Every structure is written in C-alpha cells, then in structure tokens.
Structure 1
Amino acid sequence: MLTQDKVIFSSWSGGKDSALALNRALKELKKVDILFTMFDETCIHTRAHGLPREIITAQAESIGARSIIRCAAWETYEQEFLEFLKEHTQNGIGIFGDIDLQEHRDWVERVCKTYNVTALEPLWLEPREKLLEEFLKEGFKAKIIATKKEYKELLGKDLQESETLKLIEKLNIDLSGENGEYHTVVYDGPIFKKPIRIKIVGNYSTEKNEYLIVGI
C-alpha cells in the first residue's frame, strides 16, 4: 500500500484496542499522522473512556503524532466525524480498533467512504485470547479506568498483572471488554517513545458505570 502522500489517522480512544490496532498497522504503514479522539459534548472527557485532554495529548506526543480532538453529543457524533474527515483526511487512511461489532464497522466504512478514506480494521474477527496475549507480549501496559458497575472490582487494576487476568476470567466477561465491561488507558508500549506517567486523582459514577479520574 503506497502511503507516502496519504494522511493516516488512528481513531484513538487512549485504550488497548486502538493501541494494538495502531501497532499492527504501523508495521505495514510505517507512519501515523493524526490521533483523532472524540470527546463528549462537555469537551472534558473522552466519550468512551472518560479520559482528560492531557492524557490524550501526552499519548500523541509520545507516539509522535498530531492530536486532533472534536466534541460531540451522540446526536452530533456523525456530523463531527465527517467534518474531521473533510478537513484533515480526504483520500487518506483511517485505523480503527473494532473487533466484531458489525454495526460499528458498517458505520465506519460508510462515513469514511464519503471522503474516500480507506478504513483499516487490523483486529477484525480475531480471537479475544489472541489479541490480549499479543497486547501483553508486545510490551503494552494499561490500567483499567472505567467499568460497568457490576465489575467495579476491576477498577484501578493493571491489565498486564496476572491477578487482573484471573479476575477477568473469574467474572466471566468478554476478555477484551468489547461489550463495555471495562475500559483501559495505555501508558507504555512499543508505539511510545517514553511511558506516560499517569496518576489517579479521584473517581466518579454514572448510572451504569464507574470511572477513575486520571491525570499526569
């Protein structure tokens, strides 16, 4: 795939799936220009993982990519995504971390097609065990910073610790948390020039989820 003149972006959550997808894609593409992250309508936290801007910015700096952030309610999410594609990545390549949510892949391919963006899904239909094993074998490190309420005992655990993996198995949940059981923030690994020194500064709850407030 000829990529020299194409803008390449990662749809970046700050968590393990987008990190592993980027790591796989870089082995072929050799570069990433932009980490694109969608924040909620307050522009305070990432929509899925509840991460602050300073974490996303630090990750992008360590990876060596430009961070672009847009903010949206669910009702305006597609509009904001399309505006990003139009302004920055027409005829380019997007890297996504979906595993098997067909509805989301269909959406990604539809909106990317609007501006002739090639959507890559490096993790698609891979076994959960294989993905998690690869993530850890590659040397990534991640902390669980959001869970559904019923799995809050995972909160604050480091994913690479054997006790965390045993707890995930004990809870009998999706190993990758693909149904929203848990979310992570990645703070070290092969795509980073240096580790991100994260600290836990608090926590908060919503009706369905528990979150850690993290900073650097």
Structure 2
Amino acid sequence: MKVFCSFSGGKDSMLALYYGLEKYKKVDYLFTMLSEDCIHSRAHGLPKNLLEKQAQSIGIRLITKCSSWKEYEDNFLGFLEEYVKGGVGIFGDIDLQEHLDWVENVCSKKDVEVFEPLWLKKRKDVVSEFLSLGFKAKIVAVKKDLGIEKYLGKDLTFDLADEFEKIGVDACGENGEFHTFVYDGPIFKHPVDFRVKGTVQKERNIVLELE
C-alpha cells in the first residue's frame, strides 16, 4: 500500500506529514502541484528547487505536476492513478469543510483512504504543536491590505502567533493571511539552506523571493 502526503512546504502539511509518519511508519511520496510555469508551487508560490531540498532532507521522494486551477482536479486524479491508487493520502486541512469535501471526493475516485490528522483541532493548537515539536518556519507570504508586511521574513514563534491574534490575524493563517516555508524540524536530516533575494508583489500577496 502506497502512502503520500499532499505537500505545500508549509507548516500545516509538514505537521500532517509528521503525524502520517507516526501512524503509517512510512510515506512513499510527497506530492506538490506546481503552477503552469512548472517552477513555483500552485498553493504557496515556493520554488520547486526548495521543495526538492525539503524532500531530500526529509528523505521522501517528491512528485510534482504542473497545472492551471482549471485542470487541477484532473491532474490530481492522474497522480493518484499512477502512484497511489488504493493507498493512503495525508492532508493538512484544519476546519475548512469545502477542502475536506474536495479531498474525500477526489480520493474516493481512486480508492485512496484519506488521513486528516489536524482536522477540527483548534487553529492555535496546531501552531503550538508545530512549534513544540521543534519545527522551524519562515513567513514567506502575507496578504495585502492587512498591515502585516513587517512580519514577512520573520520566523513563526509562540510570541508571533500571540501577536497575530491580538491584531485580529488568525494564528494559523488558515484564512490565507500568511504562508510559511518550513526549513528544519524533527523529520529533517539537516536544515534546508536558502536565502532571500527580495520581495515580489502578487495580485493578493506580498511574497519573499527565495532561492
């Protein structure tokens, strides 16, 4: 039975992967959907080469596909058919029902069992578990017009999560307020080496350009 983790490179998918490794004792693949450019991740805009560095440090093979949002489901089904039909998928959803419904619907078409270890946990508890386990993550994108640009490039910490809550920003960023890049933790053999080149203005977010 093959096991994969839907992998963004951020804190939620990394924590879900951690619990998946605990439960199944192995994960065969990390799967990331890339944008049409085949260079950046579809979800968080992380460069493919840094996702590969994460996978190498963790010791799990990374599989990627390039896709528009319109073709996303078909390409996801293609991955399931080729690699994990009849297996298990690990996902890092917390409490957004439409995300869970999509995952369960798509995975059922290829007889893939869904494991959602973070489901219905309190958002602040997800951040606390992630940090308590020793993971390290950098904030690499923030939503425009929230006044939180100053947090771009900072490491996620307990104090920062508290500060977010005080200013009305979800501590987990589950509403898209911010995204993270995980560069070290208990399932890493070594920290991921990277540097910040600058910032890029996107339609909705301000994003760190990493390499």
Interval of TM-score (by shorter of Structure 1 and Structure 2): over 0.9
Per the alignment, residue 184 of structure 2 pairs with 188
Per the alignment, residue 206 of structure 1 pairs with 202
Per the alignment, residue 7 of structure 2 pairs with 12
* Runs of 4+ residues deviating >3 angstroms: none
Query: Deviation digits for residues 109-154 of structure 1, max 9, x if unmatched?
Result: 1110111000110000001121111111100000000110123222
TM-score after normalising by structure 1: 0.94
SS in 1 for 2:32: strand
- Superposition pairs of residues 27-66 of structure 1, within 5 angstroms: 27-66=22-61
**Please, which runs of 5 or more residues in structure 1 have no aligned partner?**
1-5
- Superposition pairs of residues 71-150 of structure 1, within 5 angstroms: 71-149=66-144, 150=146
Instruction: Return the alpha-carbon distance in structure 1 between the equivalents of residues 111 and 50 of structure 2.
Output: 30
Percent identity between the two aligned chains: 53
- Superposition pairs of residues 147-158 of structure 1, within 5 angstroms: 147-149=142-144, 150=146, 151-158=148-155
**Please, which runs of 5 or more residues in structure 2 have no aligned partner?**
none
Amino acid in the other structure paired with 1:68: I
TM-score after normalising by structure 2: 0.96
> Contact conserved, 1:154 with 1:167, CA < 8 A, in 2?
no
Instruction: Return the alpha-carbon distance in structure 2 between the equivalents of residues 117 and 145 of structure 1.
Output: 32
Moved more, 140-149 or 195-204: 195-204
Please state how far the C-alpha of 1:102 moved relative to its aligned partner.
0.5
Instruction: Return the alpha-carbon distance in structure 1 between the equivalents of residues 151 and 176 of structure 2.
Output: 13
Per the alignment, residue 167 of structure 2 pairs with 171
